[in-house]
Amino acid sequence: MTTSQQHFTLREQAQRFLSREVHHHFIDGQRVPANSGQTLTTVNPSTGEALALLGAGDQFDVERAVVAARTAFNGPWSTWTPYDRQALLTRIAQILDERFEELIQIEALDMGAPVTRLRNTKPALLKMLSFFASQAANISGETLMNGIPGNVTTMTLKAPVGVIGGIIPWNGPLNSQFWIIGAVLASGCTTVLKPSEDASLSVLRVAEVLHEAGTPAGVINVVTGLGKDAGHALASHPDVDRIAFTGSTQTGRSIIQASAVNIKKLQLELGGKSADIVCSDADLDKAVPGAAMGVFANSGQICFAGTRVLVQRPIVDEFTERLLQFMDSLRVGHSLDDAATLGPIISQPQLDKVLSYIDVGRNEGAELLRGGHRLGGELGNGYFLQPSVFTGVTNQMRIAREEIFGPVLSILPFDDVDEAIAIANDSDYGLGGAVWSQSLSTALRVVHGVHTGTMWVNCYGYIDPLVGFSGTKLSGYGSKGSAAHMDTYLYTKSVYMEL
Ligand code: NAD
């Protein structure tokens, strides 16, 4: 079969999946209707039309899924060796490689990212699975010296934490679920995933594919539903050991409170307002597209988007002119349009929120240079916004302080590097950030000076599981990737043996 024939077949499979009457939860290896019998409608953001019905999960569905996950955790899954779990992850990577086109069709229709963008994410996903496969066979404790009289041997063992509640946002669930699934399978934990009510379909499909690939029933479960119902039930469930949450800072606070019931371990990957610092000696051929796509990629719906673009005063005019020229090359379109580089905003409420920030920026005195309005014509029924640029922005304005989560870039001038660092740090958030400069000493000064979880130099947005990615301040805590990620799915047991 040629690649285009394969893609045709996989698209048909995606359509068959999408045509199901109701997308039920996936619990204990089976599709399970919601206890309430209620459904939620999920919408294709490119057309504004209903795409699918999801089970409206509640505490009863979460209870059933947690029981399945606990039973699997205590069952034969616990006897799988690291090599078995590694082989499973390797098999999953092969299957995802073969079926990727099916999954991205579902994802594109569900959350609006263009297939052109999603196709490019395949190497990152396969790399992530390869990382977790390597971690599965790399879990180790230590033997330790001690000061205990007599013949006492001491060591530490690493053991899987247990049942993980995974609460996922809508801005890239196909990829982001694997930060949880990969660590769960590598460590020997089990999970109940609660995807966003706005984009659950790729998570449901992946659970089925993983089950077909040999993941035992109960290891990966998915309960769909609203955050206040299914999400809250998961965060407050007394038999869930740990919550891996990615989402807004506001929801992160609710999760902290709900999880107090049994002192759950938490990983919180929250919002951001990252500063992208362009110095006057930057290579603008790289800095302009880099800074632009650091905001506009995924239509600005990326947690680490560098939405505050700090530009050194002597090059503000040149940078701005070249930015607007670069933006002419961006094509906003339907997520299945092979020529589209940017898709819609996820939903009408999120579009309204972004548009309201455009008004806030204007009212605060910033100058809107480009965009700021919903697109009409053949895109008029979808939630499309033209990428937007504000200039004359000060760091005190709300558009520079609050997370907009849409394609809105603000240009803030600065005089010297110390001022740029001070502006970057004058934020409640600390997620991403970048500096563009041809001077290594300037770049390193900024890297050391900015209080943020991740910094890029002369590039934007690389994430490699071997290196990791994390936040600080209101952007949360806990690393994605690196050995630190695996550590949070394991606990350490200290062992004293008198021989
Ligand atoms: P959100 O906080 O509204 O929802 C995230 C998830 O939490 C959804 O599944 C939702 O149903 C659930 N939820 C909502 N209320 C809940 C509650 N009370 N209890 C339990 N669960 C609840 O976020 P969103 O709008 O889906 O996603 C956008 C946000 O996610 C942005 O703030 C973005 O910065 C952040 N994000 C962060 C990262 C990161 O790595 N730091 C990555 C992606 C997105």
Assess contact for 430 and 475: CB atoms under 8 A: yes
Tally the residues of the chain. 499
Catalytic residue among 101, 107, 269, 403: 269
424 lines ligand 1 (CB under 6 A): no
Catalytic residue among 303, 364, 367, 403: 303
Q: pTM for the complete prediction? A: 0.97
Q: How far is the CA of 131 from the centre of ligand 1 (A)?
A: 25
Assess contact for 212 and 186: CB atoms under 8 A: no
Q: Which residue has the tokens 């001070």?
A: 422
255 lines ligand 1 (CB under 6 A): yes
Three-state SS at 431: coil
Strand order across the beta sheet in which 308-312 lies: 367-370, 388-391, 408-414, 308-312, 275-278, 433-436, 456-457
Measured from the Cα of 350, ligand 1's closest atom is 25
**Cβ partners under 8 Å of residue 330, min gap 6:** 292, 296, 341, 342, 387
Mutate which of 61, 191, 222, 248 for ligand 1 pocket (most atoms within 8 A of beta carbon): 248
For residue 216, give the DSSP letter.
Answer: P
Q: What is the pLDDT along the chain (499 residues), one digit of tens a residue?
A: 788 888 889 999 999 999 999 999 999 999 999 999 999 999 999 999 999 999 999 999 999 999 999 999 999 999 999 999 999 999 999 999 999 999 999 999 999 999 999 999 999 999 999 999 999 999 999 999 999 999 999 999 999 999 999 999 999 999 999 999 999 999 999 999 999 999 999 999 999 999 999 999 999 999 999 999 999 999 999 999 999 999 999 999 999 999 999 999 999 999 999 999 999 999 999 999 999 999 999 999 999 999 999 999 999 999 999 999 999 999 999 999 999 999 999 999 999 999 999 999 999 999 999 999 999 999 999 999 999 999 999 999 999 999 999 999 999 999 999 999 999 999 999 999 999 999 999 999 999 999 999 999 999 999 999 999 999 999 999 889 988 999 999 999 999 999 8
**Cβ partners under 8 Å of residue 22, min gap 6:** 33, 39, 53, 54, 55
Measured from the Cα of 250, ligand 1's closest atom is 2
Q: Beta 25-27 vs 143-144: how paired, if at all?
A: unpaired
Residue with the smallest CA separation from ligand 1 atom 18 is: 228
169 lines ligand 1 (CB under 6 A): yes
298 lines ligand 1 (CB under 6 A): no
Assess contact for 87 and 66: CB atoms under 8 A: no
Measured from the Cα of 431, ligand 1's closest atom is 41
Known active-site residue 189: no
User: Residue 52 is inside which H or E element, if any?
Assistant: strand 49-55
Q: Beta 433-436 vs 39-44: how paired, if at all?
A: unpaired
Rounded Cα distance between 264 and 310, Å, is: 39
Q: How many other CB atoms sit within 10 Å of the CB of residue 238? A: 9
Phi, psi angle pair for 182, to nearest 5°:
-60, -45
Of 308, 284, 343, 316, which is closest to residue 115 (Cα–Cα)? 343
Rounded Cα distance between 440 and 448, Å, is: 12
- State the burial class of residue 457 (Cβ atoms within 10 Å of its Cβ: 0-12, 13-18, 19+): middle
Q: Beta 152-160 vs 456-457: how paired, if at all?
A: unpaired
Number of H helices, E strands in the chain: 16, 22
For residue 332, give the DSSP letter.
Answer: B
274 lines ligand 1 (CB under 6 A): no
Mutate which of 110, 193, 251 for ligand 1 pocket (most atoms within 8 A of beta carbon): 251
282 lines ligand 1 (CB under 6 A): no
Per-residue exposure over 289-325, b if at least 16 CB sit within 10 Å of its own CB, e if not: bbbbbbbbbbbbbbbbbbbbbbbbeebbeebbebbee
Indicate the Cα dihedral angle 213, 218, 223, 228, nearest 10°.
-140
Known active-site residue 459: no
Q: What is the pLDDT of residue 317?
A: 98
Q: What is the pLDDT of residue 6?
A: 82
Q: List 267's β-bridge partners, or say none.
A: 244
Measured from the Cα of 170, ligand 1's closest atom is 26
Rounded Cα distance between 186 and 5, Å, is: 34
User: Residue 476 is inside which H or E element, if any?
Assistant: strand 476-477
Of 331, 332, 366, 364, which is closest to residue 351 (Cα–Cα)? 332
Transcribe 153-204 into DSSP letters.
EEEEEEEE--EEEEE--SS-HHHHHHHHHHHHHHHT-EEEEE-BTTB-HHHH
Q: Beta 388-391 vs 367-370: how paired, if at all?
A: antiparallel
Of 245, 228, 316, 298, which is closest to residue 461 (Cα–Cα)? 298
57 lines ligand 1 (CB under 6 A): no
Assess contact for 268 and 476: CB atoms under 8 A: yes
Three-state SS at 292: helix
- State the burial class of residue 377 (Cβ atoms within 10 Å of its Cβ: 0-12, 13-18, 19+): exposed
